[in-house]
Amino acid sequence: MIRPHACIFDLDGTLVDSLRDIATALNSALDDLNLPRVDLRSVRDWVGDGLPALCRRAQPRADETTVKRLVECAARHYRNHCVDHTRPYPNILAMLKLLRSKGLPLAVISNKPHDLVELTLRGLGMMQYFEEARGFVDEREKKPCPKHAIQVASNFECAPRLVCLIGDSPVDIRTARNAGMIAVAVAWGFRKIGELEAERPDFLVHSPDEIISLFD
């Protein structure tokens, strides 16, 4: 096995359990537009491809004007409540501290809107662990597009094949493949293990400690 030299993490479902705050923001936006609410289980299945995709899945028959309004309302609600219930998963902070103590550069790449990535990390006191944090800006460049992952590896002066890209969804595994990186799937996130296994990640880990072992 090649010893990795850097880590890129997904955010939601990988580092933090944010499902309740995301669902609350989406339902608040649906209330604003007098549209039917959705349940937590559905939101769990829909997250991972960015806020516009989440809103389209909540209202698949809506026109683009309605979807745009829904995105704006959900983002406004979420901006004010992004860490009401969101917390790091157990042992995540200890893992990040240990990886940093090994001198490893760390980054976050998320399909969550960029300003909300920063708000979440700062609100939880987690920004200190990462050299870079990138969120959704352009639909064409969201994961599984490898552009941002490759740029981060370049900024780290690290070959992509020496970078672990760690996430909880098939989208993250595909991003790693597209970037030529080591694909690490986590079992504690929003997706079923069967979905992850179908994508054949290089590693499927069941605890943050198993991530640390990749660097030993």
Element (H, E) at 88: strand 87-88
Sign of CA dihedral 58, 149, 106, 180: positive
Task: List the structure tokens of 130.
Answer: 């990462």
3-state secondary structure of 177: helix
- Cβ(98)–Cβ(24) below 8 Å: no
Candidates 9, 49, 5, 6; CA nearest to 167 is: 9
* List 10, 17, 21, 168, catalytic entry: 10
Q: What is d(CA 140, CA 126) in angstroms, rounded to the nearest whole number?
A: 28
Q: What is d(CA 156, CA 27) in angstroms, rounded to the nearest whole number?
A: 39
Q: What is d(CA 99, CA 44) in angstroms, rounded to the nearest whole number?
A: 29
10 an active-site residue?
yes
Q: What is d(CA 74, CA 24) in angstroms, rounded to the nearest whole number?
A: 9
Catalytic residues: 10
